[in-house]
Amino acid sequence: MTQRYSIGLIGARGHTGRELLKLIDKHPNLDLIFAASRELAGKDVNEIAPAPDGLKFENSTPAALAYHNPDICILALPNGASQPFVEVFSEASPKTILIDLSADHRFDPAWAYGLPELYIGSQSLKGAHRIANPGCYATAAQLAIYPCLQHLASPPSVFGVSGYSGAGTNPSPKNDVERLSGNLMPYAPVGHIHEREISHHLGHDVRFTPHVHPAFSGILVTVHMAFKTPLSVEKMRTLYDKTYANHDLVAVQTEIPELRDATGIPGAIIGGFSISEDGLHGVAFAAEDNLLKGAAVQAIQNINLALHLDVLSGIKRA
């Protein structure tokens, strides 16, 4: 008989929340028992996404939600909003596995960092109880840099472009469709939180500049790397092939991936490996959907691992 687990979702109205509702609905082992949104409280959940009949959005009140005592609870909240929920669940529902999509616990050693293709050996996600889901740009950039890590002579430079859903639903210039029309908007030229996240988890400094483009979703990163000793394109390609050989959600290809290639698919595409004549300067590109591999799909991978299920359970293979 299929083992079943109860799951709750807080922040269900948001961009990542809606993707999570769809993924939970088709997951063979998960039963959604609550979805929380302050704005939609009282409305049917399946008005915005597939959900069990009759399930209504609940208000985001930590004590009332912890009372459900779910096996898993996902926090899909803006940065800085998770703490009241973590505190109350830790006290009132201590067995619940918490997955935080925000940056609040990505630097906290008490939380496993959930980028399953890279750090599964060093910070075991299997059976983890507290999991910090990586940032969207941070996922693409780490996937693109990690295979070359031992060869780096200096901090890689990452040029990142994301669709405006990366900025959440709270109105800002970065999700203002009118302002973005026909536009590309650079921001946070130094010190972006994903720059710190990538540097922290790779154990190597990076430089990162994000940009927002006018489409709803999709991320493309272009990574420039200086190498200690010359590499060929073939050698570089081999590093990526070896790293991702057993990871179905990361495709490695010769061609440069374009942003639209990865929009709407669960995994990431890395390719376009290029090397300067002297072999000391290499470039790689990575594309992913910020809401999927950059957020919701990765959260489901992490839940699967925490529950000792197949890492791709409930996720369509790429």
User: Binding-site residue total for ligand NAP (CB under 6 A)?
Assistant: 29
Question: Could you tell me which of 49, 103, 113, 97 has the C-alpha nearest to residue 78?
Answer: 103
- In eight-state DSSP terms, residue 161 is E
- Note whether 81 and 100 are within 8 A (CB): no
Report d(CA 186, CA 213) in Å as an integer: 9
Please identify the residue of the shown chain whose CB is closest to the bound ligand NAP.
14
Q: For ligand NAP, what does the binding mask look like between residues 275 and 304, x meaning CB under 6 A?
A: ---------------xx--xx---------
Q: What is the secondary structure of 28-93 as a DSSP string?
A: TTEEEEEEE-TTTTTSBGGGTS---TT-BPBP--HHHHHTT--SEEEE---TT--HHHHHHHHHH-
Amino acid at 201: H
Residue 148 known to be catalytic: no
Q: For ligand NAP, what does the binding mask look like between residues 88 and 127, x meaning CB under 6 A?
A: -------------xx-------------------------
- Note whether 128 and 181 are within 8 A (CB): no
DSSP-derived 3-state class of residue 194: helix
Report d(CA 225, CA 279) in Å as an integer: 11
135, 147, 257, 266: which one contacts ligand NAP (CB under 6 A)?
A: 135
The verdict on 314 binding ligand NAP (CB under 6 A) reads: no
**Region from 25-33, 141-149, 166-174, 176-184 binding ligand NAP, contact rule CB under 6 A:** 166-174
Which of positions 1-30 make contact with ligand NAP (CB under 6 A)?
Answer: 11, 13-17
116, 166, 210, 271: which one contacts ligand NAP (CB under 6 A)?
A: 166
Complex with ligand NAP: residue 251 or 292, whichever CB lies closer? 292
Complex with ligand NAP: residue 225 or 303, whichever CB lies closer? 303
Q: Which member of 136, 152, 161, 220 is catalytic?
A: 136
Helix (H) or strand (E) segment spanning residue 23: helix 15-26
Which of positions 60-79 make contact with ligand NAP (CB under 6 A)?
Answer: 60, 76-79
- Residues that bind ligand NAP in the complex, under the rule CB under 6 A: 11, 13-17, 37-40, 60, 76-79, 81, 101-102, 135-136, 165-166, 168-170, 290-291, 294-295
Q: Which residues are catalytic?
A: 136
